[in-house]
């Protein structure tokens, strides 16, 4: 558990020096990655490792807070929160048991056996798609699907 007066969450990654890391939000929502109006837009949010970079790409889009609901929800949690990249979300999945134990002890909703959006979009013939991770106990697959699906969203932040 991490709390610094500005934000709180469950730690899912700690740097080698033990001074920095990443937390996942205590709350979640079910949101579209993008609305139908912009789902085919190539946003540049292509990083599989850096969700913060993907978030900054989305914020460059016109009317981003209305057109990209999953990103807007993460941003609404406060400064520094963002939609995790595919690899960050995989790391959350890899630590699902520990995270769920901490969420349960805090009286918060556990991660669900369902699909969670990453901030990693796709281009080419799949430009209307983005990556997700299916949090299915014992089998957390990832793939891409159309951006206008309602999947769960958990924000992450650095500390």
- Tens of pLDDT along 23-37? 999 999 999 999 998
End-to-end CA distance of the chain: 12
pLDDT at 139: 61
**Helical pair 96-105 and 86-94, crossing angle rounded to 10 deg:** 70
CA-nearest of 29, 34, 32, 31 to 63 is 34
Run of H or E including 108: none
pLDDT at 52: 98
CA-nearest of 73, 33, 80 to 56 is 80
CB 157 within 8 Å of CB 23: yes
Helices (H), 28-155: 51-59, 64-67, 69-76, 86-94, 96-105
Task: Give the separation between CA 85 and CA 122, rounded to whole angstroms.
Answer: 12
| The overall pTM is greater than 0.75 | yes
Helix (H, G, I), strand (E, B) or coil at 100: helix
Residue by residue, pLDDT tens for the chain (159 residues) are: 999 989 999 999 999 999 999 999 999 999 999 999 898 888 889 999 999 999 999 999 999 999 999 999 999 999 999 999 999 999 999 999 999 999 999 999 999 999 999 999 976 666 789 999 999 865 667 788 889 999 999 999 999
pLDDT at 136: 82
């Amino acid at each position: 558990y991490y709390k610094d007066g500005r934000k709180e969450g469950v730690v899912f990654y700690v740097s080698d020096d033990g001074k920095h890391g990443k937390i996942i939000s205590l709350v979640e929502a079910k949101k579209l990655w993008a609305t139908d109006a912009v789902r085919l837009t190539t946003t540049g949010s292509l990083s599989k490792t850096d969700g913060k970079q993907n978030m900054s790409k989305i914020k460059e889009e016109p009317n981003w807070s209305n057109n990209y609901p999953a990103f807007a929800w993460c941003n609404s949690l406060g400064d520094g929160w963002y939609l995790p990249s595919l690899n960050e979300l995989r790391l959350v999945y890899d630590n699902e048991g520990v995270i769920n134990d901490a969420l349960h002890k805090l009286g918060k909703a556990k991660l669900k056996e369902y699909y969670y959006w990453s901030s990693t979009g796709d281009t080419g013939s799949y430009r209307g798609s983005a990556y997700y991770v299916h949090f299915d106990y014992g089998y957390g697959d990832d793939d891409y699907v159309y951006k206008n699906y309602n999947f769960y969203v958990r924000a992450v932040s650095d500390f």
